[in-house]
Structure 1
Amino acid sequence: MTKLSAYELEREANIARNKALLQQLELKQAVESLPSTSKVKVEKKAKPIQPRTREKRKREPEVEAPRRQSARLRRGQIDPNESPRKRVKREREEEEQRQKEEETRLAAEEARRQSQRPRHNKLDMITLIESGPEDTESLNKSMEAVSKSSVDRVGNFDEWVFEDSKEDERALKDLRQRMGKLVVRARAKVTDARIYCAAYHPEVTKDLIFFGDRCGQLGIWDARAPADEEEDGDGELKANEDHEGGKYWRIQLHWPATPKSSISCVKLDPIDAHNIFTGSYDTTVRSLSFTTSQSRELFSTENLVNCIDVSPNGNELWISDSQGWVTHLDPREGKIKPRSYALSDNKIGSVSINPTRPHYIVTASNSRSIKVWDVRNLQAMSARTLGDDSSASDEVGTSGTIDFHTETVQEYLQTAKGKRGFRAEFPHGKSATAAYWDPRGRQILSTSYDDTLRLWDLDQATLDSDDPFKKFQPFSKIKHSTQTGKWVSLLKAQWTKNTNVYPFFTVGNMNHSLDIFSCKGELVQRLSDSRRITAVQAVTASHPNIVERVATGNGSGRCVLWAPEDLD
């Protein structure tokens, strides 16, 4: 029993005297209101995950600029016996010294400015990874076990479409049973800052997830890999209680390491499993290859890059930015020049390519609407199309793209061919955060700040027509809080890319849970763990080839793997 201090003994005596006095006065209610001397048992919560202890990089010493002084102080006391010739010589030497000091100061300022600008050159993995060669070697070993051919599959337009409602019910029941087995299997602080985006690698032998954070860092998490063993002072292995769940690597892919370089989107190359694409607020799109251990720039603009999407053949990228532009480019080096279209007056938060009909894209913007475009007709736009005598070179922008400004696009959309380029629009109550095609290319899922998730189902006749859609109304509206505020990443409902299961999508919940919905808009499962999950799981991603796998990330860089308990 814990020994009480003198103060605590005196307090207990006072409480006992007061109780006796109140009982003599027959004030039972007042006696019961007195504090109890018994201690309340506090439930022990799970210890928060701590990041691995790593050696801090040694920063280069800053060059201190020389302090400015008045000419009187620099001259000091004037020697009355100094000859005019010596005085002129001394003043000339002092002026030369001042010029040298000023040049040194300007050079230091320019070096500091250069260090804060985006990097446009090719970068080696060793210069990017957090702990240098040691981590690079372990990451390369982990990636060697990944097959380059383990690529995403494109769905069939007519898959999982049943005429009998009972077939839908059976498929939904099976999905509920499988998702009901998911629990928290691993946790780790994969990045240093808030997670903005995630991508799940299609490799089936491991759970490999890529996370982009608020400061341009790419976290790579091998969630079920054996944790690194650490030794104590006596050379014996000690238990690692501060973090759990696999291995992770951190790569400072975009620069500078501030919110100006947030990684807004991560996409896997559909034809090369050892290559990934990242878009960033530093206005660049980069390609990182684990085969060559190099990162190269694919595209640079003047605006913040919000979203990128890759066509199923890997030869087309569509990029949306903060000023309402959408850019089309070929990621292969030396190919056609990128073309940019001003499709909105506000930020376009997402762009998505239809996987079975890649000539369709859907955009979601702060103009409170989502729009469906037929890019075959957009790409036919040119100066000659509008009857302009100016050459195409007059439209080349500062980023090397061929730019079609708002006036040009609007004028073109009024022409017979241009009307076929814009197929449909649906207004939302507030900003449309995201809109994505499903793997079959028949459904669209949108997330909006009006606290609603919406689902569209388009038939083959509508998509095969050359005219604007006659009807474009969502068949399902799901009320879901999306009021993330300033400190939580935007919630964006994400389709699973697994074509072997009844289509579903995942979305974070402001109540610290993970919600899974079917393609019909029905809630499949709501996963939570109040003991281990104490933050909003804003970013979600599911395994493209294994049904019972979902990964989530929160605002502190901590990530969670949801998988069956009997996985091993």
Structure 2
Amino acid sequence: MPKKSQYELEREANIAKNRALFEDLGLKDAVKGLGVASAKPQKSVAKPVQPKRVKREREEEVPRRQSRRLLTKVHGDLNETPEERKLREEEREKELIRLEEERLEAEEKARIAKRPRHDVLNFKTLAETDEPQELSKLSETMATVSQYEGPKRVGDPEAFNYGEEAKHQKAVKELRAQVEGLKVVARAKVTTNRIYCAAYHPEVTKDLIFFGDKHGQLGIWDARAPPDEGDEDNDIPPENREGGKYWRLQLHWPATSKSSISSIKFDPTDSHNLYTSSYDCTIRSLSFVSGTSTEIYSRNDGVLISSIDLPPTGQEMWISDGAGGVTHLDLRQDQSKARRYELSEAKIGSVSVNPVRPNFLLTASNSRYLKVWDARKLENIPVTLLGDSEELEDDSATQTLDFGGSIVNEHLDSKKGKGGFRGEWKHDKSASSAYWDPRGRQIVSTSYDDAIRIWDVDSAAFKGDNPFPDFKPFSRIRHNCQTGKWLTILRAQWSPNPDSYPHFTVGNMDHSLDIYSSKGDLITQLADRTRISAVQAVTCSHPSIVERAASGNASGRCILWAPESVGFNS
């Protein structure tokens, strides 16, 4: 017979114990249900005596002391006269009215805090954040910038158009020698939230970079400004300190994701003026001279503004939106004179104005298409196609003229609209962005199909009204563009410097900043594994200095790339 385990022995002992207990109580049927041979009854162990709980008598509540002044105010004094009672009741009624007015005022302030701000705002108002900021330094920096008068240059379409491959390779080699040694010379958390866009000011004596974030905040970073006295921490190595000086202006309101700054552009003729577009459906102009921000355009239909661009004259603006439209705004006229054209059935993520031939527009949309348009033909669309002219006269004073897709297509198919549509290319997935280069002849696009493509349009193709012949990219670069939900979309950005060999920067999911030539050659990958551990999704370059680039990530931290000889905070 196999030996019983300890568990089985304990189980049988418990059953025997229970059997004896049931027999003592006279529960024989329960004993039979135990299913084990009867055992000798065991003596029951007496339970310990539990102390009796004494019910605690509830103490009588002693009436609390009350203020005689308050009692008199509410209920009145028993000895008060009718005149005194009337006066007391009037005072109490006034107090209730005051409290109600305060409540309504607080609710109104809360409502206002959730609405966009349409009035003129100064630096002091814009700088009202949870952290104190030294506005005097900002004013000094802006005053320095306002004195800058840089050259207003336009690219040459035939520049760097070498016929021999050897000349291209030589230019690429020279460019690589200039940028491959760029290092992290400054870094700082310039904005509170994720960086959405950036722009490099043309000032050559400073590295002044502007960043727009997810919550409508504009970060202004003087990246190589020396630290203030007393700010230096001797316990932290210079390369790990916050570099330069930065200020945060709440340019768009409310401070939520509904006000993300989607685009930043400097006025081409006045670098003291900055334009920003936002998901709050407004465009604002920030003047460094007056220190104020003014709204120049707004929408009330809730359609998000995705990007803006300006021709070299700086007198007009083109605006793309999330409903597949592109709006033309003449900055010399009231915004009610704006004209919107529906050019896609899906969101247009970017619009780019050709810097040399400003009547040619480039759009990239979620419909996968990159398209080129002649704006002169769009502006020729007769207003009569919109319907009753009397109604239009009444409406035009208060809203943008909106030409739907069917009206645009009808006009482009007509004799007057011939040449308005010049070419297109369909990506495998959504086209994130597309931009003209400074010479106005090359295009770079990024797409969710994990590719960067480059086009080269001959100058002769812009003449006449015929579509571009053989409009297809000559270079396709494999590049991971799967940023997902938490990263800003990667966009390849041309260097705006017309004097250097054409090249562009783009963020890399491997935490580097990549630089490519206009021929698709990888010039260099700027990285620093010891100091950078995030995707540099947003990039930009200095308009005049080749050896300068900047980038920003999803936490609001920004990087200045420059020669190591520049040093830290020098």
Superposed pair shares fold, TM > 0.5: yes
Q: Return the letter of the residue paired with 1:172.
A: V
The change in CA–CA distance for 1:231 and 1:492 in structure 2 (over 3 A counts) is closer
Could you tell me which residue of structure 1 aligns to residue 464 of structure 2? 465
1:331 aligns with 2:331: yes
| Structure 2: segments with no counterpart, 5+ residues | 1-73, 76-87
SS in 2 for 1:299: strand
User: By how many angstroms is 1:148 displaced?
Assistant: 3.5
Q: Give the deviation of 1:397 after TM superposition.
A: 8.7
Q: Is the 8 A contact 1:225 1:247 kept in 2?
A: yes
Distance 1:92 1:244 in 2: 61
Is the counterpart of residue 219 in structure 1 residue 219 in structure 2? yes
Superposition deviation, residue 276 in structure 1: 0.3
In structure 2, the residue matched to 1:566 is: 565
Query: Which residue is equivalent to 1:521?
Result: 520
- Residue type of the partner of 1:222? D
Q: AA paired with 1:141?
A: E
TM-superposed deviation, 1:103 = 6.3
Q: Which residue of structure 2 lines up, in the alignment, with residue 210 of structure 1?
A: 210
The match for 1:478 is 477
Superposed CA deviations along residues 499-540 of structure 1, whole A, max 9, x for unmatched, are: 111100000000001110000011010111100010000000
Structure 1 residues 418 and 96, CA gap change in structure 2 (3 angstroms): farther
Matched, 1:347 2:341: no
1:274-353 correspondence to structure 2 within 5 Å: 274-302=272-300, 303-332=303-332, 334=334, 337-353=337-353
Contiguous gaps of at least 5 residues in structure 1:
1-75, 78-89
Q: Secondary structure at the match of 2:560?
A: strand
Deviations 1:84-114 (CA, angstroms, capped at 9, x unpaired): xxxxxx9999999988876654543333112
Provide Cα deviations, 1:436-495, integer angstroms capped at 9, x if missing partner: 000000011111111011111001111112222232111111110000011111100000
Cα shift readout 1:155-180 (whole Å, capped 9, x = no counterpart): 00100001111111110110111111
Q: What SS class does the counterpart of residue 125 from structure 2 fall into?
A: helix
Q: Deviations over 1:412-438 (max 9, x none)?
A: 222122232111111111111101000
Map Cα deviations across residues 332-357 of structure 1 (whole Å, 9 max, x no partner).
46588111111122111100000000
Instruction: Deviation per CA, 1:375-394: give whole Å up to 9, x if none.
Output: 00101112336897666436
Equivalent in 117, 121, 124 of residue 123 of structure 1: 121
8 A Cα contact 1:200 1:544, kept in partner:
yes
After superposition, residues 359-370 of structure 1 pair within 5 angstroms as 359-370=359-370
Name the counterpart of 1:539.
538
> What amino acid is aligned across from residue 543 of structure 2 in structure 1?
P
Return the offset for 1:135. 2.6
Indicate conservation of the 8 Å contact 1:152/1:544, yes or no.
no
Query: How far does residue 306 in structure 1 lie from its aligned partner after superposition?
Result: 0.8
User: What letter corresponds to residue 376 of structure 1 in structure 2?
Assistant: R
* Matching residue's letter, 2:494: W
SS at match of 2:565: coil
- Deviation, 1:129, is 1.7
8 Å Cα contact 1:130/1:249 also seen in 2: no
Trace 1:64-463 onto structure 2 (pairs within 5 A): 105-130=103-128, 135-146=134-145, 147-150=147-150, 152-230=152-230, 243-302=241-300, 303-332=303-332, 334=334, 337-384=337-384, 392-393=392-393, 396=396, 400-463=399-462
Q: How many residues align?
A: 487
Aligned counterparts of 1:442 and 1:156: Cα–Cα separation in 2: 9
Q: Which residue of 1 aligns with 2:54?
A: none
Amino acid at match of 2:119: N
Aligned equivalents of 1:469, 1:553: Cα separation in 2: 36
Task: Indicate the SS of the match to 1:174.
Answer: helix
Distance 1:422 1:380 in 2: 13
Residues 1:258 and 1:152: Cα distance change in structure 2 (over 3 Å)? farther
- Whether contact under 8 Å (1:230, 1:240) holds in the other structure is no
Equivalent-residue separation in structure 1 for 2:332 and 2:120 (angstroms): 15
Rounded Cα–Cα distance in structure 1 between residues aligned with 2:261 and 2:480: 24
Alignment partners' CA distance in 1, 2:104 and 2:463 = 62
Question: Percent sequence identity over matched residues?
Answer: 55
RMSD: 3.1
* SS at structure 2 position matched to 1:279: strand
Query: Judging changes above 3 Å, is the alpha-carbon distance between structure 1 residues 549 and 215 closer, same or farther for their aligned structure 2 residues?
Result: same
CA distance 1:416–1:98, shift in 2 (3 Å): farther
User: CA 1:415/1:390 → structure 2, altered by over 3 Å: closer, same or farther?
Assistant: farther
